[in-house]
Amino acid sequence: MGARGRHRKRGGLARSLGALLAVVVALGLAGVFARSAFQPGTTPTRATGSTPPASPSVSPLASPSPSLSPSPRATAPAGRGRLVIHGTGDVSVDPNYIPNFRSYGYGYAWSGLNGLFKRDDLTVVNLECAVSRLGSPVPKKFNFRGDPAALPAMRAAGVEVANMANNHSYDFGPQALMDEREQLRRNDIAPIGAGADPQEALSPALFTIRGWRVAVLGFDKVVDPYPEAVARPGHPGTAAGHNEAAMIGAVKAAAGVANVVVVMIHWGVELDTQPRASEVSLAHRLVQAGADVIFGGHSHRLQPMESYRGRPIFYSLGNFVWPNLSAAGATTAVAEVTISPSGEVTGRLLPAYIESAGHPVLRGS
């Protein structure tokens, strides 16, 4: 049994944090936007600083300023171990969208990864479909219905957290969204980023792993053209729409109870290959609020990783368990984050390619 099996998340699956809707003063963009070019399988140079960028799009790394020490919250006393966390882009378990599942089964989605997610300490995926047999389609162009029968294979592959904060979790309405949360829990997968109301949608999944307390949050900014999908009092939905203050407040609250805060966020514009200024600004504010790792998605294209204040930001992880509609869309990666016993956080992109619909395969890692 691997490290994952030995600890099997000794703290159990998610326990909700209440009162996460603290409103904070908006913070301006700070710190150098030091973005390295995407180099698959390598660890980009860390860069920190406090000088604002000259423009939203900055050329590759200049000389880094003196490195920051790990924050007191993340610094680990003796006895805490090394953590390895993985994040992926869009995952669909809709057999109508990916007919290969009917031919090869749902384990096909994970069979090209060489057991990577079984060997780490935590894996977070963006589950881009309504995994439920309930509800009816809402009026939008694409509605993806995932099959609950796919979840045992997902869990067996080593996935512990599924982000529902995206523009397809609400495809079959509130009944299906809430049923998806239950389906995930039944399969020992923690749902994040959606719930019965804003408090539940913004609540993190909490884990105790190797002496670390880890909180995982999900946020969805892609709510147009169907804003009804956003959670509000008495109405199930995703977190938190365009309410960036709620996101900042949720991160601050999570940082108050956890040593490591992981954020998965759905944002940006489809087919973009670089982050936009608004995403860079929000990412930096989330790090300033206490986020240690940011996994981004929605563009269906792989985007670069940045290290800001010693914290990795993966602006878009592209597609993952998805149709291979084009070479650009099939080019993807797994985000790998390592946290040392002393609290240093490093990240890298493990290159992968969707060789057949629904079948990502690691390359050279």
Residue 361: is its pLDDT beyond 80? yes
Would you say the C-alpha torsion 276, 130, 121, 329 has a positive or negative sign? negative
The C-alpha atoms of residue 89 and residue 126 are separated, in whole angstroms, by: 6
Report which of 346, 347, 350, 315 is spatially closest to residue 331, judged by C-alpha positions: 350
What is the mean pLDDT of the segment spanning 168-178?
98
SS3 string, 44-96, reads CCCCCCCCCCCCCCCCCCCCCCCCCCCCCCCCCCCCCCCEEEEEEEEECCCCC
Share of the chain above pLDDT 90, in %: 77
Segment 140-145 long-range contacts (CB within 8 Å, at least 24 positions apart): 140/171, 140/225, 140/226, 142/168, 142/171, 143/168, 143/171, 143/172, 144/92, 144/94, 144/97, 144/168, 144/171, 145/94, 145/96, 145/171, 145/172, 145/176
What is the mean pLDDT of the segment spanning 172-181?
98
pTM for the structure as a whole: 0.81
pLDDT value, residue 224: 86
The C-alpha atoms of residue 309 and residue 32 are separated, in whole angstroms, by: 9
Give the 3-state secondary structure of residue 309: coil
What is the mean pLDDT of the segment spanning 285-304?
98
The C-alpha atoms of residue 202 and residue 250 are separated, in whole angstroms, by: 6
What is the mean pLDDT of the segment spanning 6-18?
38
The superfamily CATH assigns to domain 3-36+80-362 is Metallo-dependent phosphatases (3.60.21.10)
Transcribe 20-43 into DSSP letters: -----PPPPP-S---BPPP-TTS-
Contact 171, 130 (CB under 8 A): yes
What is the mean pLDDT of the segment spanning 9-14?
38
62-to-105, 130, 249 alpha-carbon distances in Å: 48, 43, 32
Contact 119, 160 (CB under 8 A): no
pLDDT value, residue 7: 40
Would you say the C-alpha torsion 331, 225, 264, 145 has a positive or negative sign? negative
Average pLDDT over the chain reads 83
Higher pLDDT, residue 65 or 323: 323
First to last CA, the chain: 22
pLDDT value, residue 79: 82
In the chain, where are the structural domains located?
Answer: 3-36+80-362
What is the mean pLDDT of the segment spanning 273-294?
98
List b or e across 272-294, with b for residues whose CB sees 16 or more CB atoms inside 10 angstroms.
Answer: bebbeeebbbbbbbbbbbbbbbb
Most confident range (mean pLDDT) of 29-33, 58-62, 202-206 is 202-206
100-159 residue pLDDT tens: 999 999 999 999 999 999 999 999 999 999 999 999 999 999 999 999 999 999 999 999
Which pLDDT band, with edges at 50, 70 and 90, does 364 fall under?
confident
pLDDT value, residue 63: 22
Residue 59: is its pLDDT beyond 70? no
Cα 139 from chain centroid (whole Å): 26
The C-alpha atoms of residue 320 and residue 124 are separated, in whole angstroms, by: 12
Q: What are phi and psi of 255, to 5 degrees?
A: -65, -20
Contact 324, 90 (CB under 8 A): no
Contact 333, 317 (CB under 8 A): yes
The pair of structure tokens assigned to 258 is 């956890």
